């Protein structure tokens, strides 16, 4: 019981911090990660908030799990609902960074917070994020997970850019830094389970 409580606390702390990381990066105006370029583009073209589109896209991605026979966990459902809620909350709370130096501070903080949040979320071991579940499901059909991930993220990045989402140095920085950060932090943040309980399968960095 205590172990599960700890895993749940870490899960929800990770999701809240993930929302904060998104809000910091979007507020910086220096370029979003690929999925949030897409969410922001949809928001600008069709209305609704970025957080609302994060939730809508998560639900639609989960529908693609059905033919792939992927099984969601409590972490998956929580991810779909809460990341968008926290992103909108922090976008509302954060002050406008204004000067370029402050925008860069937001961007660097976003990447660091995102790496820590990813480690928290994956380390809790309560189910993959909807987007990562899609990637692992497609990879299970005999394709390289790196190829699948790259193809999906390039597709949403291109679509988001065409819709008006912000692409910039932050997009590149996030892509380069998030993998190594998660790799370094995940061993520290992974909650050890009893020997009889199987550990979760490794997930690609990003926890989305």
Domains of the chain: total: 1
- Asked whether residue 26 is assigned to any structural domain, the reply reads yes
Residue tagged 């896209």 (tokens): 57
Q: Give the pLDDT of the chain (208 residues) as one tens digit per residue.
A: 788 899 999 999 999 999 999 999 999 999 999 999 999 999 999 999 999 999 999 999 999 888 878 888 999 999 999 999 999 999 999 999 999 999 999 999 999 999 999 989 888 889 888 888 887 777 777 777 778 888 888 999 999 999 999 999 999 999 889 888 888 888 888 888 666 555 555 455 555 6
Q: What is the DSSP letter of 205?
A: T
Range of the domain at 176: 13-189
pTM, two decimal places:
0.89
Which positions ≥6 away from 80 have C-beta within 8 Å? Answer: 55, 58, 59, 62, 130
- Asked whether residue 5 is assigned to any structural domain, the reply reads no
- Asked whether residue 196 is assigned to any structural domain, the reply reads no
CA–CA separation, 136 and 132 (whole Å): 6
């Amino acid at each position: 019981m205590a172990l599960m409580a700890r895993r749940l606390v870490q899960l929800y702390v990770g999701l809240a911090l993930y929302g904060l990381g998104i809000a910091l990066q979007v507020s910086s105006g220096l370029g979003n990660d690929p999925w949030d370029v897409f969410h922001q583009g949809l928001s600008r073209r069709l209305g609704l908030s970025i957080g609302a589109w994060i939730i809508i896209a998560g639900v639609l991605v989960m529908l693609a799990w059905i033919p792939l026979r992927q099984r969601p966990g409590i972490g998956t459902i929580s991810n779909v609902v809460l990341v968008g809620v926290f992103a909108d909350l922090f976008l509302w709370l954060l002050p406008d960074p204004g000067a370029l130096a402050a925008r860069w501070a937001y961007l660097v903080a976003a990447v660091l917070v995102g790496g820590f949040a990813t480690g928290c979320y994956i380390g809790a071991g309560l189910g993959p994020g909807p987007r990562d579940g899609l990637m692992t499901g497609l990879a299970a059909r005999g394709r390289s997970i790196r190829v699948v991930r790259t193809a999906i993220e390039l597709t949403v990045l291109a679509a988001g850019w065409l819709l008006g989402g912000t692409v910039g140095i932050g997009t590149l920085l996030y892509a380069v830094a998030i993998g190594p950060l998660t790799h370094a932090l995940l061993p520290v943040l992974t909650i050890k389970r009893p020997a009889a309980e199987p550990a979760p399968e490794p997930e690609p960095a990003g926890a989305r």
